[in-house]
A = this chain, B = another copy of it.
């Protein structure tokens, strides 16, 4: 089981913005500090902007700010946006986690725990 670098990059960038909240910071600075390709990061943060995690300001002296306070944004939100669903599914949509499928219990239980864990961690918790 893996997480993509996308989730990791996204989280790191948001933690970075949380650290300077409520100041603006531009892609160039974030990418240098976090050692992530600027162009790639630009796209990732774009997705987080669509989903209202960050706000952007265009033009000179522009950049990004968290759309909410660090205490009001969870790791789960960010990771779910970056990585897609956190609930593993049985293959080919044939199994829709029916009661008759014994092993589906494992994925359901696990999905619950993962959500519980990640939605319980706020950016505010990570910057102390």
**Distance A76 CA – B49 CA, assembled complex (angstroms):** 36
Chain B residues positioned under 8 Å from A110 (CB to CB):
114, 117-118
Task: Decide: B9 and A91 in contact? CB cutoff 8 A.
Answer: yes
Decide yes or no: A1 and B117 within 8 Å by CB, A15-B102, A91-B9 being known contacts.
Answer: no
Q: Is the interface of A mostly helix, strand, loop or mixed?
A: helix
Contact segment of A23-31, A51-59, A61-69, A82-90: A82-90
Chain B residues positioned under 8 Å from A35 (CB to CB):
94
**Distance A17 CA – B88 CA, assembled complex (angstroms):** 22
Copies in the complex: 2
Which of chain A's residues 1-49 have a Cβ closer than 8 Å to chain B? 1-5, 7-9, 11-12, 15, 19, 35
**Residue ID in chain B nearest A7 by CB atoms:** B1
**Distance A102 CA – B11 CA, assembled complex (angstroms):** 10
- Please tell me if A121 contacts chain B, counting CB pairs below 8 Å: yes
**Residue ID in chain B nearest A117 by CB atoms:** B113
Task: Decide: B11 and A103 in contact? CB cutoff 8 A.
Answer: yes
Chain B residues positioned under 8 Å from A79 (CB to CB):
1, 106
Give the 4 A-B residue pairs with the shortest CB-CB distance, closest first: A3-B88, A102-B126, A113-B117, A5-B91
